[in-house]
Structure 1
Amino acid sequence: MTGRLQACVDGYQAIGRLPSVVAGVLRRGVLVEVAGAGDVPGPDPADVQYRIGSITKTFVAVAVLQCVADGLLALDDPIGAVVPGTGYADATVAGLLGHVSGMQSEPVGPWWERSPGVGLDDLLAANDGTGAVADPGEYFHYSNLGFALLGEAVARLRGQSWWDVTRSRILEPLGMGRTTYLPVGPSAQGFSVGHFAGTLTREPHQDTGAMAPAGQAWSTVQDLAAWGRFLAQGDPRVLDLDVLREAYRPGQRDYGLGFRVVEAHGRRLVGHTGSMPGFLASLFVDPATGDGSVLLTNATTGLVTDAVPARLLGDEPVEPAAPWTPTVRVPDALAGVPGVWFWGNTAFELRWHDERLEVHSLALQNRQDVFEVRGDRVVGVAGYHRGETLHVVRRGDGSVSHLDCATFVYTRTPYDPDVEIPGGHPA
């Protein structure tokens, strides 16, 4: 087993161009194996902190369910009963937990994950309810904004910040001392990897303020293994297993009340994926057996996080992979060459990778989002941006400057210096 896990992690690092990656496997709720690849900070891959993004939402979900169990809240309560200043006052607690409230995916303003966080008053004022993309229950629409409201509800019901509640009522009882709000070394620096040249750009580690319940936390393989054990077995000091199992019942899109549900080798696993600028994360566990997997990496992209458990918990052979090394400098002979080129009308990507120039056809890439023109709007009809408006931002001469959809800014060149970038341009 040891060799297979290491081979999986080596493969992820090489194929995904990940600066570093660490992973672990649980059997019957026990972390039995850990592996790392790339430039892992510190001597122990099980104890290095990475940002875990939306796995933070599972902490918030448990904190909300604790409030329900204590009679402070009901799942069908409107969030406005606890957070009266929100423009989405009629959204129910269950609707927010299950991402079926109909509210927009991201808050109004610059991309919150990469920008300095704002306070609650500013967040509520900017999101007055006019950004709704669907009626409640109409369809699954992932909403980070919704979890900001849930975190604030927990804070108001308990009389302390949502993170203090998380630490005292969840992390401390479970012995998760290496799970923190801000990084505590050894911890990984987050990077985005230059698509064409394979160079590294440091990403900011922002305090996301009022949006923090949606993805702020940092953790380790060791701590997330303890969290996985809790998700499989429950703990009366935190939350009973029967309550957790009800929360795992999938509603729309294989999502329960704050938990994702995936299938792997005929088993149903629960947990969550996570992403923040410079980081990806995956934690899933089989509640029936306690078997599970954890993976953390310090790259913005390069990994399909919800496919990790099927890979790490499988038994199929894994081919060895040579490690990927980030590019420091493209050779002078190829300066200006990496990028998109055309042979007639056919597009190709020329990528500098592992000291070679690779040519990839762009004709067979996977489709991620689909938009339609509806009147004067360009509206998402499939994918993450379903229901959101794609704004085509033009220069004074009518040429396209950039695209903006739900605070995601798309530019012709990476971090275009002529376009305002959420969180600022890399130094």
Structure 2
Amino acid sequence: MSLPDGLAGRLERLVATAQSEQRIPSVSAAVFRDGDVLWRAALGSADVERGEDATPAHAYRIGSITKTFTAVCILQLRDAMVLDLDDPLRTHIPEAPPGPTVADALSHLSGFQREPPGEIWETMTPPTREELLGGLEDAERVLRPGEAWHYSNLAFGLLGEIVARRNEGEYAPALRARVLEPLGLTRTGFDPQSPSATGYFVDPYSDRVTVEPDPAVEGPVAAMGWLWSTVDDLARWADFLATGHDGVLSRETLDEMARARTMADQGAWKLGWGLGLELYRRGDRVFAGHGGAMPGFLAGVCIHRPERTGAAVLCNTSAGAGPEKLALDLAEAVLDELPRAPEPWRPDGGAPDDVTPLLGRWWSEGYELVLSWQGGRLRLEVVDGPPGRSISWLRQEGDDRWRIEEGRELGELLRVVRDENGALEKLYVATYPLTRAPTAFADASG
């Protein structure tokens, strides 16, 4: 799909302005929709000393975006019933302290200190597996589990250890076999593939740049943030986070990962966390994704899952850049200026015979509700209900039993009640009675 000239120009200006004003040696960016990259660009120097211009093909470190890959591996194990999200970490890592669960670690609610014990970001020597586990005795519990959001690389190192222990003791091969290869992410890995960008520190008071160290790492610590990738691979990854992929993770599980479990900014409610996914709110839109930082590199990727539209931004600077904001700005530009045409409505065979009697108007507590059959699914709407919280979608799980699988009252049961002749009498939703006419509580109880 070719972009309108005005939109392409807007995207180019956003990237050029960020690269210039934030003094980034190079920026690589892409916007994507429905699994296709709509636009990509790169500005600046991938390697200053060699005079190598950046291209969208260059690989950059993506830092903590790696955590989204680790989270997918953990949810794979959950779906395979190897673990439960409510399991204490200690169930799978006996060396771990008691208390925090797998879900706590995924959502940064573990209460663990931010980094593994030691001065990892001064020595630039990441801990080995043995040092990571041995250091748990010295790790602080800065908060109670679940008390508040507190970002923890240490927690994700332990999640990487769980993945490793369930895959013959190695994290990197497990990630490659379980995620990277099935999704065709050929430019994503723990070693840079040519061409790759050089990471820099930009002097805040001059235009001098210094090459940053490139620390090597082995074992589960890599799960914290050591991957390299390209904007095209991140576009493919973000689209997977919106749609799922057979043999990797289902759309339903990814929906679960993208539900907010905590807010990182309790006052503003603009930045939250699901299960390993960062959630950004811009107005009425919520994007899923993650940011990343490593010495010499900053990165951001986001996707608006309902519209399957997002952006990826990679930078080769240690500080001063805002790739997450730029990715959100790029994605919003596409959503604003390239709206989708409505899907054409097409008639079908209508509702199944056993569903037809359920359809139409119902009442509960003086509120009107409507059951309808749309697109092969049962839909329940609260008339004039609160925006974004008035519609439920249901799946049948037995005779006269339906379960809400999406939307309002998620997980609750709709039960059909019939009289002695089998005729439809009323419904119950989450134990509230629904009748064909408005009924007062006094009448219903009488």
TM-score, L = length of structure 2: 0.68
Is 1:211 the counterpart of 2:221? The answer is yes
Instruction: Name the structure 2 match of 1:3.
Output: 9
CA distance in 1, matches of 2:131, 2:185: 32
Instruction: State which of 225, 231, 247 in structure 1 corresponds to 2:257.
Output: 247
Counterpart for residue 321 of structure 2? 303
Query: Matched residues in 1 for 2:299 and 2:122: separation?
Result: 15
Give the Cα separation in 2 of the matches to 1:282 and 1:114: 26
Query: How far apart, CA to CA, are the structure 1 residues paired with 2:56 and 2:26?
Result: 13
Deviation at 1:123, TM superposition (A): 1.5
- Paired AA for residue 237 in structure 2: W
Structure 1 spans left out of the alignment, 5+ residues: 317-427
- For this pair of structures, how many residues does the alignment match? 315
| Aligned mates of 2:95, 2:213 — CA distance in 1 | 30
Structure 1 CA distance, aligned partners of 2:153 and 2:21? 29
After TM superposition, list the pairs within 5 Å mapping 1:88-99 onto structure 2: 88-99=97-108
Contact 1:113 1:276 in 2 (8 A): no
> Which runs of 4 or more aligned residues in structure 1 lie more than 6 Å from their structure 2 counterparts after TM superposition?
none
Q: What amino acid maps onto 2:24 in structure 1?
A: L
- Check conservation: 1:293, 1:312, Cα contact below 8 A: yes
Query: Partners in 2 of 1:241 and 1:231 — Cα distance?
Result: 8
**Structure 1 residues 194 and 219: alpha-carbon distance in aligned structure 2, compared to 1, 3 A threshold:** same
Going from structure 1 to structure 2, the CA distance change for 1:208 and 1:112 (only over 3 Å counts) comes to: farther
Q: From the superposition, tell whether residues 214 and 130 of structure 1 become closer, same or farther in structure 2 (CA, over 3 Å).
A: closer
Alignment pair present for 1:261 and 2:245: no
Matched letter for residue 231 of structure 1: L
Cross-structure match for 1:126: 135
1:98-145 deviations in whole A, cap 9, x for unaligned?
Answer: 000111001111134861222111122223155110111111000000
Indicate if the aligned counterparts of 1:114 and 1:277 stay in contact, CA closer than 8 A. Answer: no
Name the CA distance, whole Å, in 1 between partners of 2:307 and 2:56: 22
Amino acid at match of 2:118: G
Rounded to whole Å, the distance in 2 between the matches of 1:127 and 1:214 is: 16
CA RMSD of aligned residues (A): 1.8
Check 1:69–1:314 CA distance in 2 against 1; reply closer, same or farther (3 A cut). closer
Is the 1:114–1:204 contact (alpha carbons within 8 Å) kept by the matching residues of 2? no
CA distance, structure 1, for counterparts of residue 139 and residue 205 of structure 2: 39
Tell me which residue corresponds to 1:194: 203
* CA displacement, residues 192-219 of structure 1 (integer Å, 9 cap, x when unaligned): 1111112101111111334211000000
Is residue 56–residue 217 contact of structure 1 (8 Å, CA) maintained in 2? Answer: yes
The 3 A distance-change label for structure 1 pair 269 and 105 is: same
Cα distance in structure 2, aligned partners of 1:55 and 1:131: 25
Point out the more displaced range, 287-296 or 111-120: 111-120
Aligned: 1:279 with 2:307: no
Q: Note if contact 2:31-2:40 (Cα within 8 Å) is conserved in structure 1.
A: yes
Residue type at the aligned position of 2:299 = A
Matched, 1:293 2:325: no
Give, as a single letter, the amino acid of the residue that structure 2 aligns with 1:301. A
Question: What SS does the corresponding residue of 1:281 show, helix, strand or coil?
Answer: strand
Is contact 1:29–1:292 with CA below 8 Å preserved after alignment? Answer: no
- Match for residue 230 of structure 1? 240
Q: d(CA) in 1 for partners of 2:169 and 2:120?
A: 27
User: Which position in structure 1 is the counterpart of 2:367?
Assistant: none
Verify the 8 A CA contact 1:26 1:291 in the aligned structure 2. Answer: yes
Give the Cα separation in 2 of the matches to 1:233 and 1:113: 40
Q: C-alpha displacement at 1:160, in angstroms? A: 4.2
Deviation at 1:236?
A: 1.4
CA drift of 1:15 comes to 0.8
Q: Identical aligned pairs, as a percentage?
A: 39
Q: How far off is 1:306 after superposition? A: 3.1
SS at match of 1:22: strand
The superposition leaves residues 57-95 of structure 1 with CA deviations (integer Å, 9 ceiling, x where unpaired) of: 000000000000011110011111111123x34321000
* Residue number in structure 2 paired with 1:72: 82
Deviation at 1:287, TM superposition (A): 1.0
Contact 2:278 2:288 in 1 (8 A): yes
Contact kept in structure 1, 2:18 and 2:326, CA below 8 Å: no
SS of residue in 2 equivalent to 1:145: helix
More displaced 10-residue stretch of structure 1: 36-45 or 68-77:
36-45
Distance in 2 (CA, whole Å) between partners of 1:302 and 1:113 is 20
CA distance in 1, matches of 2:233, 2:122: 23
Which structure is larger by alpha-carbon Rg, 1 or 2? 2
1:313 to 321, 331, 341: 331
Alpha-carbon distance, 1:27 to partner: 1.9
Amino acid at match of 2:257: A
What is residue 14 of structure 1 aligned with on the other side?
20
Q: Aligned to 1:127, what secondary structure does the other structure show?
A: helix
Residues 91 and 136 in structure 1, CA contact (< 8 A), matched pair in contact too: yes
SS of structure 1 residue aligned to 2:30: strand
Task: Name the SS for the 2:14 alignment partner.
Answer: helix
Counterpart-to-counterpart distance in 2, 1:283 and 1:121: 32
Q: Deviations over 1:324-377 (max 9, x none)?
A: xxxxxxxxxxxxxxxxxxxxxxxxxxxxxxxxxxxxxxxxxxxxxxxxxxxxxx
What SS does the aligned partner of 1:176 have? Answer: coil
The normalised TM-score by structure 1 is 0.71
CA distance in structure 2 between the partners assigned to 1:236 and 1:162 by the alignment: 22
